[in-house]
Amino acid sequence: MAIANAAIRRDALRTNRERSEKQISEAYAITKRVEVSTMAGLFMGKYGVLCLNSVVTVYLFGDLAVYTAAVPKSIMNVICQSVNASTEHGAKACYDGWPVWLQRITVYRLAICAFVCFVTPMVLIGVHRTKYLQLSTSACRWTAFALMIVLACIQLVREGSPDPPQVFNIHGFGSLFGTTVYAFMCHHSLPSLITPMKSKRHVFFYLILVYALVLTFYLALAISGTFSFEHIFDVYSLNFLHNKTDAIQELFINYFLALFPVFTLTSNYPIVACTLVNNLTVLVDLVVELRIRSANHSIDEEAHSEDETFAIDSTSRLGRLRHHTIALVVVASATLIAVFTDNVLVLTSITGSYPGVGVQYIIPSLIAIYGRRCGIKVPSSMIQL
């Protein structure tokens, strides 16, 4: 981020003939928020942006598929009678005495239809003001996490562990890797977190503390659940819904935890979908631009500068039509995946293991490598002028 800030200020410093070493060093101050896509464009060029947008697009699409499966699955488990995680099957009746065709999988797919009908208008309109939405979902997350850890520990103390888990299972490594990458996917938000800080002297220490706190919560959640439940649902909060209890306050907490994914993921869905639509729009414009440039490579480059774009105006009729078309295709594709599978664990593992690795490891590494090369060049180019 520091090198990106210096690269952005490079032209201004070049015009200043009487610049000092202090001004050159201050050019690296992180005062301007530079997102990952901007850094990719500065250090890696348009093909770097193309690579980044492609990987992020696949990851965000996996995100939508997970959301589209997790929310209806939670709703289906709230509507239908309780089942054990080991006997959960879509072909089972939702309730004894209900019509044969109204199975759990049917209720799940009906919930998908209702969910998609609810979120699609928000995706088409676009979500821009998300401050209070994010604050409310964050409060909901913290409350749900704390409740799940406490309730699992209480159950473990009262009833003990029903079946001691295996010490090691090599067959679960793929799911573990994918879900952990998916769970810790947050570093792309660092520019928005670090830039507003007045003092960045201890930023690495603060980040270590944050990651340690997140890791502590995840370990507490995983360990308490592993020892408290014999069979665990892929949507973890559903384990508390199927606990037998007659106390009203416990029923309220159990249903709150079961509906916790519905509240949080429904509010996040339009934001992720709009981000995905914007990424796809940029990706389409970039592909068109690169194809035009490759077809017209003999044209004088001074007439077509590097910053020239071939994007369609988003406010025009054609731009709005394209936006709505891409949004509908995105929502329909994610919905189609959720209709054919309700296995949230598989969707999460695939999303984390493949595009997640690209977003979390490969792209940041490439940006760091190319950024350091640019960092070596920037000071010398300033001094020479």
pLDDT tens digits, residue range 303-356?
Answer: 444 445 555 666 677 878 888 999 999 999 999 999 999 889 899 989 888 888
From the list 36, 33, 34, 32, the residue with the least C-alpha distance to 53 is 36
pLDDT value at residue 33: 76
Quickly count: other Cβ atoms within 10 Å of residue 168's Cβ.
7
Spans of all domains in the chain: 2-297+305-384
- Which class in CATH covers the domain with range 2-297+305-384? mainly alpha
Distances (CA, A) of 71 to 64, 88, 373, 383: 11, 17, 45, 57
pTM of the model: 0.82
What value, to the nearest 5°, has the Cα angle with vertex 282 and ends 279 and 312? 135
State the amino acid at position 219 in one-letter form: L
* Structure-token pair, residue 2: 């520091």
Split at pLDDT 50, 70, 90, the class of 11 is low
Fill in the DSSP letter of residue 231.
S
Quickly count: other Cβ atoms within 10 Å of residue 349's Cβ.
24
pLDDT digits (tens, 9 = 90+) for 103-160: 888 999 999 999 999 999 989 887 655 677 778 888 888 899 899 999 999 888 888 8
Q: Please name the residue that has the structure tokens 């759990």.
A: 104
* Structure-token pair, residue 253: 């907490």
Residues making up the chain, counted from first to last = 385
pLDDT value at residue 314: 62
Q: Is the pLDDT of residue 378 over 70?
A: no
- Cβ contact 66:272 at 8 Å: no
Q: What is the mean pLDDT of the chain?
A: 80
pLDDT digits (tens, 9 = 90+) for 222-241: 899 888 888 888 888 888 88
DSSP per-residue codes, 261-308: HHHHHHHHHHHHHHHHHHHHHHHHHHHHHHHHHHHTTTS-TTTS-TT-
Split at pLDDT 50, 70, 90, the class of 380 is very low
pLDDT digits (tens, 9 = 90+) for 71-90: 999 999 888 877 765 556 56
From the list 336, 379, 355, 315, the residue with the least C-alpha distance to 126 is 315
CA 93 to chain centre: 34
